[in-house]
Amino acid sequence: MMQPTAYSQLVTLFTRIYRYEHLAALAGWDQAAMMPTEGNAARGAAMAELDVLIHNSLTDPALAMAITAASNEALTDFEQASLREMQRRWEHANLLPASLVEAKTLAGSLCSHEWRTQRANNDWDGFLVHFREVVRLSREEAQLLSQRSGMSPYEALMNKYEPGMTCAELDRIFGDVKQWLPSLIQQAIAKQAQEATIAAQGPFAIEAQRTLGLDVMKLLGFNFAAGRLDVSHHPFCGGVAEDVRITTRYTDVDFTQSMMGIVHETGHARYEQSLPREAVHLPVGQARSMAIHESQSLSFEMQLGRSPAFLALIQPLVEQHLGKQEAFSASNLAKIYTRVKPDFIRVDADELTYPAHVILRYEIERALINGEIEADDIPALWDEKMQAYLGVDTTGNFKNGCLQDIHWTDGAFGYFPSYTLGAMYAAQYFAAIRAAHPDLDQRIAAGDLAPVFDWLNENIWSQASRWETSELIRRATGEALNPQHFRQHLELRYLA
């Protein structure tokens, strides 16, 4: 009998790790969506134990020996890419002790759980009690990663989500946005002030919103045999490719937020559901990066979902579920969903002001992880930047200010840049799609979404992590990330 190759041994090892991660993902989804309150301590301990098990599997000496041996085997191009992604996972895990992995999971679970009540109560001081520990452990992780990589501590964390991205590159990209975005926001507000928009009249029954969302998900190609929709405090997409769990949140005074939140999370879900099933148990068969993941949700929400053509397509569904009213005309829905209004909440922000929300978070978390500020300094910096970037006063309003996001509660520092990078990638995708299909808007309005889905499937979904991000984008669009596509998209939609 032939001896298994080192690469085949790695496939076996990483398949086992993927199965552990499957359970961890569903436990995390349940914690956010279904778990009774008193289950949190036990759930946090169980998830920490599982994270340590995954970490021990990734740091097993047998895995290191198999990687070394496999590098000397005759591998196909795909197997070489697979080995590259396996080694990247291995290298990251081996820089961190299991004790830190466990402590960070426990601290994050506790902080996230308490945040749900503390945010509702505007309780920043109470939040700090557990958040300081999350920051301490995240800084420890960042230092360990940066010592070996040569990156700054913050860059080392950011590279978990967006491999290869640097603060120098982000500062260049975001610095440019900060030059032209404020003027564009003001021009759009002035232009819209001359246009009449009819406000939708609620209340909107939660069940009606839910069934509307389900119908929109069907239209967007969500596979309900491999996923489901639920409710959580903060909308997200979780689970695994074979069992995707997305959530939204509802309010009976406004249907627009939940519906577009569902469109956003369905973009994430379609990416996961369309990854190559024959390789999804391996790192090479999984999502490329979080900016690429966010580019899928923002392709659905911003590029497609807020387009007049798509809103005209779903207008009959809105009336079917929410009743007929003047505000539900296709033209008025387009005005509602492109209304520019600087406001408090990132996840509900319009397309134009959204990048400002991301940039201010990036600047604060970078300073926090690099030790330039402390957790106690966040509210004052938040207030200063919200006023400077958006003209919004958040003084004393922690609930709708620095307590509004869940990301920092479990130490996901370095994630926020993914949102605006994702918006830029999405604009670049649609520039390529429109070049190939000049009649795209007419086809969307007629219910033909195939040009969008087919392009994304061929160029992004099916490629998974076969290529490094820069190569993936070059192959898909013919050029590296070009933020000019994003600016041109915004100017065309809001000023033309």
Catalytically active residues are: 265
Give yes or no for a contact between 82 and 15, defined as CB atoms under 8 angstroms apart.
no
Q: Residue 88 CB: number of other CB atoms within 10 A? A: 14
Query: At CA 274, angle to CA 282 and CA 436, rounded to 5?
Result: 125
Instruction: Collect all residues with Cβ–Cβ distance below 8 Å to 75 and sequence separation of at least 6.
Output: 7, 83
Bridge partners of 78, per DSSP, are: none
The whole-angstrom separation of Cα 40 and Cα 25 is: 15
Cα(14)–Cα(215) distance, rounded to whole angstroms?
A: 37
